[in-house]
Amino acid sequence: MKTFGAIFKLFILLFSVLLISQSICAQKKSNSEKQALFIYNFFKFVNWSNYDELKSFNVGVLGDDKNLVFDELVNISKQEKAKGLPIKVKRLKNLSQLDDIQLLYFDKSANLKFDKIYSAIGSKHILLVSKGYPYGKSMINFVMDEDKVQYELNETKCELAGLKASKVLTIVAVKSEKEWNGILNKFENLVNNTDEETVEISTKELDKVVKEQKRLLNEIGINSKKIELQKEQLKTQQEKLNAQQKELSLKENQLLETEKKIETKQKTIIAQLDEINKHQVNLNVLNENVKIKAQELIVQQELLENETRHLIEVQKEYKKIENVLKTKELVVGLQGQRINDQGNEIVSKSDKIEEQKSIIWLSILFLSVVSTLGIMAYRSYRVKKASNILISQQKGEIEQQHYILEEQHSEITDSMNYAKRIQEAILPPMLLINRHLPDSFVLYQPKDIVAGDFYWMERVGDTVIFAAADCTGHGVPGAMVSVVCHNAMNRAVREFKLIEPHHILDKTRDIVVETFEQGGEEVRDGMDIALCTLNTKTNKLIFSGANNGLYLIRKGELIQYKPDKQPIGKYDDAKPFTKHDINLEKEDVIYTFSDGYADQFGGPKGKKFMYKKFRNLLIENHQKPMSEQHQILINTFENWRGKLEQVDDVCLIGLRI
């Protein structure tokens, strides 16, 4: 501090020497020459805030009817520079020519008023130097007392113009009107002294100043060496500090890499757990199908057992009939023998012929009945045998078809799981969504393994583009349409450089229609979508929708923005999409969605959830954290669905400003 104090004292002393030297050398100079020299020194001891933009110091002169100061300034500008920049002197006609001026000099003959001068200066960095004006009006104001030059300095007005006067100028300048008047009186008394006495006194003072200057220069030299040594020590310490900072940065980078690896592994584990859960769901579904098939087989087995019991009863009946037939055959044999005996007696017993004929006819009839029953029993036996063979064949065919179905189901499931991975690859990762929309959530719940719904995001500069889309159908057909529509949106933004939602939807529709027309058949599949762009700096949101709208909840009130009633795809009465400009406020919450949530059947009566209930659910929970809202929406959906099948894909995006 002592060193800087000595330097500051030396600086003031040097400026004082300069002023004294100029005063001594200028004893015989004119007042105009003295003013010009002072103006030249003002360039040295005043700092312009726009100095780095200047190529020269320009001086404008108003008044000075005889060009006395003007000519002296021109002479100085030809020989000297100010702070390394050339000096240019210009004669001005009026205050409208101040565009490239850094210092404006004027005297009483200019007949200017200060309110007009400051109005003309405006925000320009111009130093006002006047002569003969009242105290406190100008920035620097000369007052001449015969051969003496004094000035007042108004620091406040200088700072308002972006100018900083050196402390040297402040110390030398007159600081009050009272002091100014006292100096004027002092100079009036000194006027009576001769020029030779003044020169003699000033010369003695100058010798003292020079000796003091040499002493201070010696001290500055010694202190400068100490400062250089301290600078070297500081440089060494700075190098050590830089090395430590580099080592710390390296360790921080290693720590960040480790954290990223851990985060990646955690995501991999979560993805694997999700995959396991999905496989478990598929396995449960397969087990349910197997149980159903097993129940069908049990029913068929019961039918076969019933049929078997019936056949056993038929067999028992057949055995009874067979025993009866054997008995009847014995009877017939006995009767035949009896007939033979009676034939021998025919001649003698002619009177009994008629009676025997009746017995014979009755026997023939009995034999016919027994034969018929035997034939029926035989046919029943053959039917039973054929039924057993048919049942055995059908059982084998069912088992073969069950095996084929299991193989086909496995292949289809593997293909759909692979298609799911492809579809998930084109969806924006949650890490990217959380980076661009930190206070948000995405509820995405496909009906099947693959989905027709999808969510989409792109960033262009300060603008984030995001959408919730619902393609025609669900499952594999919906997923195929979603790939076409997703690619069309990417092309609209990346290839055609579109950023406003209505233009993106118009171009996406053209691309989708063109793609489907290449096959030669008319395809009316397409997409419903709610598309938004959000400027993250201005919080301005632009919305356009194709059959899907947008909800804005502000201070507990839900505002609906309706979409155009037309899809992205072939449509007979297609029109340009509408643009909705929305200036968002702090704590506003917006939701975009497909129709899957509101269309879900469930509840105690198995009815649709409906949009009114959906809006009330959003209003009730909009002030809660977005992650908690996400879980509430999932739980509400599952509780409403119960054991009923999910009817459609669900996609919902929530965002708080």
166-180, 241-255, 344-358, 630-644: which has the minimum mean pLDDT?
A: 344-358
The per-residue pLDDT for 522 is 74
287 three-state secondary structure: helix
Adjacent-strand bridge partners of 500 = none
Averaged pLDDT for residues 148-160: 86
Amino acid at position 652, single letter: L
Distance CA 575, CA 404 (A): 50
Which stretch of DSSP H or E encloses residue 227?
helix 195-344
What value, to the nearest 5°, has the Cα angle with vertex 580 and ends 578 and 582?
A: 175
Are 600 and 589 contacting, i.e. CB atoms less than 8 angstroms apart? no
pLDDT, tens digit, 9 for 90 and up, residues 213-222: 567 667 766 8
pTM beyond cutoff 0.75:
no
25-39, 73-87, 440-454, 470-484: which has the minimum mean pLDDT?
A: 25-39
Distance CA 564, CA 551 (A): 15
459 three-state secondary structure: strand
Closest CA to 442 of 592, 547, 553: 592
- Terminus-to-terminus CA distance in the chain, angstroms? 53
Q: Which two tokens stand for residue 108?
A: 């009483």
Percent of the chain with pLDDT over 70: 70
Instruction: Give the dihedral sign, CA 261/263/264/270.
Output: positive
Distance CA 388, CA 569 (A): 58
Q: What are phi and psi of 29, to 5 degrees?
A: -85, 160
- Angle, nearest 10°, between helix axes 475-490 and 353-426? 20
Region label for 569, one of left (φ > 0), alpha (ψ between -120 and 50) or beta (otherwise): left
Residue 589 gets which letter from DSSP? E
Of the two residues 185 and 299, the one the predictor is more confident about is: 299
Of the two residues 570 and 477, the one the predictor is more confident about is: 570
Distance CA 497, CA 340 (A): 119
Distance CA 130, CA 143 (A): 9
For residue 483, give Cα distances in angstroms to 172, 452, 594.
Answer: 81, 9, 17
Average pLDDT value for the chain: 80
Question: Within a 10 A sphere around the Cβ of 501, how many other Cβ atoms?
Answer: 24
Adjacent-strand bridge partners of 469 = 454, 529
Are 633 and 575 contacting, i.e. CB atoms less than 8 angstroms apart? no
Distance CA 177, CA 156 (A): 16
